[in-house]
Chains A and B, each alone.
Chain A
Amino acid sequence: MTLISSSIGRKVAMALSGIFLVVFLTQHFSINLLSIFSKSLFNQVSHFMGNNPIVQFILQPILILGVLFHFTMGFILELQNSKSRSSKYSSYKGRANATWMSRNMILSGIVILSFLALHFYDFWVPEMNYKYVEVLPLDANRYYEELVHKFENPIRVGIYVLSFIFLSLHLLHGFASSFQSVGVNNKYSKTIKKIATGFSIIVPIGFVFIALFHHLK
């Protein structure tokens, strides 16, 4: 109990849930990327992910718990941190010693959370409705068309692009920072930072590219 109730315990938990979400993001990106190259392969993989019982009933609940934990803990930490300095500075030069990304994780996090709400409304809710409420017949070829249909609306694509800019900003601090939180700060840290920075830029750009590709096609 000491571990989870302490400031370091919460920090480590935040980092581990963040790394878990980065792993999920990589998997999500890989599947989305397939839609650029092969309609049938994208449909096949999506069908597997949507109907495999291990993915559906074990991995999916773990993922939802991971997301819930990460943002709930983020809000709790933000609240605690704001209480630790009740009297604010009249002059505070935050940019002199820390990056914008590191100082505004709660802001980028809220944008990503808002996007997740839209994303769930767009894809997850209809999917759950299709499979478990209306119990419609299995159709292994519907996923690609559903994806393309969603990206027809320019407003949705615009929100998508904006959200992924904030995801990139969130990752630019959060990814490398999570290694520091779990105690990794050694000769490999510069390499980890470079890889994390590359990931934080390339993956969101990739998501944006996929959205624009289907919108403009």
Chain B
Amino acid sequence: MNLTLKVWRQANKSAKGKIETYQIKEISPDMSFLEMMDVLNEQLMLEQIDPIAFDHDCREGICGMCSMFINGEAHGPDRLVTTCQLHMRKFKDGDTITIEPFRAKAFPVIKDLTVDRSSFDRVQQAGGFVSVNTSGNTQDANAIPIDKHDADKAFDAATCIGCGACVATCKNASAMLFVSAKVSQYALLPQGKVEATDRVLNMVKQMDEEGFGNCTNTGACEVECPKGISLENIARMNREYLFASLKG
């Protein structure tokens, strides 16, 4: 496959970026998108051009590091995959592919296609955990009966890898799908219910402080989420938040 790539280049956080066009030849349709980026970087280095910085780690759809906005969609045109799981066979020979970083005020660009998603870490640190007594007398989690439906929903919410595709794709750059997945994951389980009030209040407060936009229920986040996190979680977070606010 021969392709034209339009890639966002930005030297650092404060530099003014722009789209650069590169030609790439003889790309195998069986390559992953990131492998294609590796080939491009090899080519750029041979041409004495600074290689393109992009996030990646596990390359098997688990870590949530890869974060490209490809042809106007987070993680590209395929569904329920991360960029590392996207294959070049999803494109046609001669295609022009536009590659940009995830864009949001709360995700500032570090360099080229890499973005700072530590805002997610701070939201998580505000309440996305269960405080466990580690005195040695901790109860075995398997000894606590949990409704199968709730367990399944909690597990589904827990599959969120925090990649930020929901923020990147939302027209308002809202982080509600991510935060609601983290809130739901614990709210559905007896271990998480103890701190449920503080958790949802603190996580939403942190989310707002980070500068994410408001949710307008377009549903784009659910469609683009590589893990298929459902909008049902956002409704649950809204409920949790309303009750927690009234409770104080």
Question: How big is the B interface, by class?
Answer: 35 or more
Contact flags (1/0) for A43-87 with B, using CB distance below 8 Å? 000000000000000000000000000000000010011011111
Per DSSP, chain B at the interface is: mixed
**Residue B36 is within 8 A (CB to CB) of chain A in the complex:** no
Chain B residues near A186: list those with CB within 8 A: 232
A87 to chain B, nearest CB (A): 5
Chain B residues near A173: list those with CB within 8 A: 217-218
* A87–B218 CB distance below 8 A: no
Chain A residues near B246: list those with CB within 8 A: 3
B104 to chain A, nearest CB (A): 5
**Residue B172 is within 8 A (CB to CB) of chain A in the complex:** yes
B72 contact from A3, A92, A102, A183, Cβ within 8 A: A92
A91 contact from B71, B217, B239, Cβ within 8 A: B71
* B171–A9 CB distance below 8 A: no
* A2–B245 CB distance below 8 A: yes
Contact flags (1/0) for B221-237 with A, using CB distance below 8 Å? 00110000001101111
Chain A residues near B146: list those with CB within 8 A: none
A81 contact from B98, B213, B223, Cβ within 8 A: B213
B238 contact from A8, A102, A105, Cβ within 8 A: A8
Question: How big is the A interface, by class?
Answer: 35 or more
* Cα-based distance from A7 to B238 in the complex (angstroms): 10
**Residue A180 is within 8 A (CB to CB) of chain B in the complex:** yes
**Residue B37 is within 8 A (CB to CB) of chain A in the complex:** no
Contact flags (1/0) for B79-108 with A, using CB distance below 8 Å? 000000000000000000010100111100
**Residue B201 is within 8 A (CB to CB) of chain A in the complex:** yes
Name A1-36 residues within 8 Å CB distance of B.
2-3, 6-12
* Residues of A that sit less than 8 Å from B by CB: 2-3, 6-12, 77, 80-81, 83-94, 96-99, 102-103, 105, 173, 177, 180-186
